[in-house]
Structure 1
Amino acid sequence: MQGTYECVKVIGTFHRYGVQQSVDSNGTFYYRPVVYMKDCKDLNNIDLKMPDYLLFNLTKGFKSLGILNPGIKLKINCRRYLKEERNAGYGYPTNIVIANDRPDFPDDPNVLTGMIMVKNQGNPEAEKDPINTDLIQIYKNWLANKE
């Protein structure tokens, strides 16, 4: 693709795999596997109007995630071409990861232990696990300060 581009982060929903017919420089037809993404947002420019679908080549980055089921959210670093109309100007997907909106584990072992104790409350399988109210309070204080 010709033209200038910027590196952007896109988040979207995997819709399906597809196949596109292409022609090489010798005029020979071949098929290339592609990935259809929908409900995409450009994280660098949230207000930017995105097309209904983005289409990416099925690269090693996608393959490394295994076979995807429709509905899985993905974060993708890619190029947004500023002068191209083809494929809405997005291409070269890299650093493809399943979007994880879950929080990270706390670094502090006391906070982590308190978190596990709170999450296991009411779980019959964990009823014999030890409970320490001080660690639970440390976790609750950490949680309150984090917000």
Structure 2
Amino acid sequence: MKNKSKKIKRKHNMQGTYESVKVIGTFHRYGIQQSVDSNGTFYYRPVVYMQDCQDLSNTDLKLPEYLLFNLTKGFKSLGILNPGTKLEINCRHYLKEERNAGYGYPTNIVIANNRPDFPDDPNVLAGMIMVKNQDNPEAEKDPINTDLIQIYKKWLENKE
């Protein structure tokens, strides 16, 4: 079976040629980089260090040990992150033959979700909620339907 490669849409801007990609990785730490503006004034730039990153758009691409992103509003909207938090990030990958090769301009940053989706079937969903609330004293007045609980348990067995 042939391995079909996805056609890459390349874009160009002042920083070079890039492709839009989705990266998943582990938040490692916050850091500070010292920079100099065009007037020669030093300033400090907060950054985010990501490790164990994979490019979900191109699985053959070898990423560096760490990816470094500016601490943008997208990161700040998640609150203060703890090391080990998995994140999905849409960003630009600047191609190697160009100046500024690397990753940048992070957008749509979300905590990676390894949790299962809710069941589509309303009976399975109701049974799941009933099972999850069995030991919750706040839910003691919620209705219980053993048939729906059995439907949920059977759905779980078939899913595995």
Give the TM-score range, shorter chain. Answer: 0.7 to 0.9
| Aligned residue-pair number | 145
Q: In the alignment, which residue of structure 1 is the partner of 2:45?
A: 32
The TM-score normalised by the length of structure 1 is 0.84
Q: Which whole-Å CA distance do the structure 2 matches of 1:4 and 1:124 have between them? A: 55
Pairwise CA distance, 1:54: 0.4
Structure 2 vs 1, CA of residues 19 and 141 (structure 1 numbering), >3 Å: closer, same or farther?
Answer: same
* Alignment gaps of 5+ in structure 1: none
Q: Which whole-Å CA distance do the structure 1 matches of 2:94 and 2:154 have between them? A: 47
Structure with a larger share of its residues in helix: 1
Pairwise CA distance, 1:141: 4.8
Q: In the alignment, which residue of structure 2 is the partner of 1:98?
A: 111
Partner of 2:90, secondary structure, is: strand
Pairwise CA distance, 1:135: 1.1
Q: Which amino acid aligns with 1:50?
A: L
Pairwise CA distance, 1:108: 3.5
Of 4, 8, 12, 2:25 maps to: 12
Q: In the alignment, which residue of structure 2 is the partner of 1:21?
A: 34
The two structures, once aligned, show a CA RMSD in angstroms of 2.4
The TM-score normalised by the length of structure 2 is 0.78
* Alignment gaps of 5+ in structure 2: 1-13
Partner of 1:137, secondary structure, is: helix
Q: Which amino acid aligns with 1:104?
A: D
Q: In the alignment, which residue of structure 1 is the partner of 2:8?
A: none
Higher relative contact order (CA 8 A, sep 6+): 1
Of 75, 99, 110, 1:62 maps to: 75
